Amino acid sequence: MRPSAAVRGTLRALALAATLTSPAFAADPIKIGSVVSATGPAAFLGDPEARTLKLYVDALNKKGGLLGRPVELVLYDDGGDANKARTFATRLIEDDKVVAMAGGTSTGSTMAMIPVFEEAKVPFVSFAGGIEIVEPVRAFVFKTPHTDKTACQKIFEDMKARGFTKIGMISGTDGFGKSMRGQCLKVVGDYGITILADESYGAADSDTTPQLNKIKNTPGIQAVLNPGFGQGPAIVTRNYAQLGITVPLYQSHGVASKSFITLAGPAAEGVRLPAPALLVADKLAAGDRQKPVVAAYKDSYEAATAQPISTFGGYAFDGIQLVVQAIEKAKSADPQKIRDALEATKDYVGVTGIYTMSPTDHLGLGTESFRMLQIKNGDWVLETPGQ
C-alpha cells in the first residue's frame, strides 16, 4: 500500500519545516566516532574520557561546529572487552560512516580495533599507552599518551642524576603495569641501573606488604619504582610507609590525578613521578605555552563533573582536539585528507604535551613533555630533574 499523495505532501512539508527551524541540522553533521571503556574494570580511565569527549563536542557545537557543519559524536562503550570494541569499531565504519575515530581506552582494545580502521582507511587516534600502537607506524593510526618507554626514560634520567644505580621494582599485572615493566626492563641498562628485586601485584590486590617486604630485605636498593594504575599505586604507597622503607619511591604517569594523593594519604609525601603539565595547571610558569590550554580544560571539566581532572581525560581531550584541528586544516571531512593533516600536525599545544608528528612518528611527544613532580604537603610540586 502506497501512502496517498496528501500524506506524502504533509510529510514533505514537515521535513522542510524541521530543517528550517533547526539551523544546527542545516548541514550534514560531521561524524566522529569513539569507543571507550566507560564501564567495566577500566571504567576509572574510560569514564573521564567519555565525559571529556561529550563536553568538548558540546562546546564545539555551541561555537558553531566545524567547517560550518555540526559535529556528531558517536560514542560507544566496550565495557573493557576487546571483542566488543572490535564490533563497535565495525559499526562505526560500516553503519555510522564516521570520518575519524578518537578512542580506545586500553592497548588491548586499541589493537583489536586497528585492523578495522586500517582497512577502511579512516584515521584512528588512540588514548592507550602501549608502544606497539605506533611502532611500527601504521598509515591511519595515531595516539596521544606518552609511551611507557618515555616514562621509564624520564624516571631513570632522574635516578641516574641522583646517583642511584640499584633499584627495586613492583609492578601491577594489569595492561599498564605489565607493559611499562617490559619497557623499563628494556631501557634500564642504558642508564647504568640494575633492578635487584622485581615484584608484582594483582589488579585488585588489597595488600602488597609481602612483596614490598621482600624489596625491603634486598640489600643495596637505593630507590623503588612502581609502574601501575588504578588503586594499586595508592596501596603500594601506603604499605611502603607502613613498612618504614626510607629509600625514595617513584610512581609513574599511571598515577594520573589528584585522587591518588587523597587515596594514599600522608604516605604519598615525597613520592616522585613523571607527569604531563595537566596535573600542575596552577603551578606552571606564567610563560608556559601549555598553561592556558591546561587551565581551560581543567576549569571546564571540573565545573561540569565535580571530579578532579585526570591525565586519561586529558588524552581524550588531545585526541579529539587533534582530529578537529586536522579537519579544520584540511578544510575537508574526507578521511584520507584528515589523516594527511594529522600526520602533518606541527607544534600543537595540548594538555598532555606539545605534539609534532611526522610520517615516522605518529605520537610526536618526547621526554620533555613530561614534568618531574614530587608530592609535598599533599600537593604536586614541580621538580628540577636530578635534585
23, 202, 270, 378: which one contacts another protein (CB under 8 A)?
Answer: 202
222 contacts 189 by C-beta, under 8 angstroms: no
10 sits near another protein (criterion: CB under 8 A): no
The torsion angles phi and psi of 75, rounded to 5 degrees, stand at -115, 125
Given the rule CB under 8 A, which of 209-217, 337-345, 346-354, 372-380 is the region that contacts another protein?
A: 209-217
Which residue, 52 or 345, has its beta carbon nearer to another protein? 52
146 contacts 253 by C-beta, under 8 angstroms: yes
353 contacts 321 by C-beta, under 8 angstroms: no
| 119-158 binders of another protein (CB under 8 A) | 130, 132
Which residue, 125 or 133, has its beta carbon nearer to another protein? 133
**C-beta of 284: minimal distance to another protein in Å?**
25
The torsion angles phi and psi of 305, rounded to 5 degrees, stand at -115, -15
β-pair type (223-226, 166-172): parallel
Peptide bond preceding 274 in cis form (omega within 30 of 0): no
Cβ-Cβ contacts under 8 Å for 278 (sequence gap 6 or more): 294, 297, 298, 309, 311, 314, 351, 352
34, 105, 147, 200: which one contacts another protein (CB under 8 A)?
Answer: 200
**Cα end-to-end distance, the chain, whole Å:** 82
Helices (H) and strands (E) in the chain, counts: 12, 14
91, 162, 283, 337: which one contacts another protein (CB under 8 A)?
Answer: 91
| 257-276 binders of another protein (CB under 8 A) | 259, 262-263, 265-267
Given the rule CB under 8 A, which of 23-31, 37-45, 327-335, 365-373 is the region that contacts another protein?
A: 37-45
**C-beta of 326: minimal distance to another protein in Å?**
25
Q: Is 375 exposed, middle or buried (0-12, 13-18, 19+ CB in 10 A)?
A: buried
Beta bridge partner(s), residue 354:
349
338 contacts 123 by C-beta, under 8 angstroms: yes
Residues contacting another protein: total by CB under 8 A: 66
DSSP 8-state assignment for residue 99: S
Which residue, 208 or 321, has its beta carbon nearer to another protein? 208
32, 33, 34, 47: which one contacts another protein (CB under 8 A)?
Answer: 47
C-alpha cell at 149: 618507554
Q: CB neighbours (10 Å) of residue 137?
A: 16
79 contacts 39 by C-beta, under 8 angstroms: yes
Which residue, 223 or 267, has its beta carbon nearer to another protein? 267
10, 90, 194, 358: which one contacts another protein (CB under 8 A)?
Answer: 90
Which residue, 173 or 367, has its beta carbon nearer to another protein? 173
Which residue, 97 or 331, has its beta carbon nearer to another protein? 97
67, 139, 187, 243: which one contacts another protein (CB under 8 A)?
Answer: 243
Draw the binding track, 53-82, toward another protein (x: CB under 8 A; -: no contact): -----------------------xx-xxxx
Given the rule CB under 8 A, which of 20-28, 171-179, 186-194, 287-295 is the region that contacts another protein?
A: 171-179
Residue 247 vs residues 16, 27, 47, 148, 220: alpha-carbon distances, Å: 72, 61, 35, 23, 10
**C-beta of 385: minimal distance to another protein in Å?**
29
| Distance of alpha carbon 380 from alpha carbon 273, whole angstroms | 10
Residue 351 vs residues 27, 227, 235, 278, 316: alpha-carbon distances, Å: 31, 22, 28, 6, 10
Draw the binding track, 212-231, toward another protein (x: CB under 8 A; -: no contact): -xx--x------------xx
**C-beta of 275: minimal distance to another protein in Å?**
18
Which residue, 74 or 275, has its beta carbon nearer to another protein? 74
Which residue, 60 or 197, has its beta carbon nearer to another protein? 197
234 sits near another protein (criterion: CB under 8 A): yes
Binding residues for another protein (CB under 8 A): 38-39, 41, 43-44, 47, 76-77, 79-84, 86-87, 90-91, 93-95, 106-109, 111-112, 115, 130, 132, 173-175, 178-179, 182, 199-202, 204-207, 209-211, 213-214, 217, 230-231, 234-235, 238, 241-244, 259, 262-263, 265-267, 307
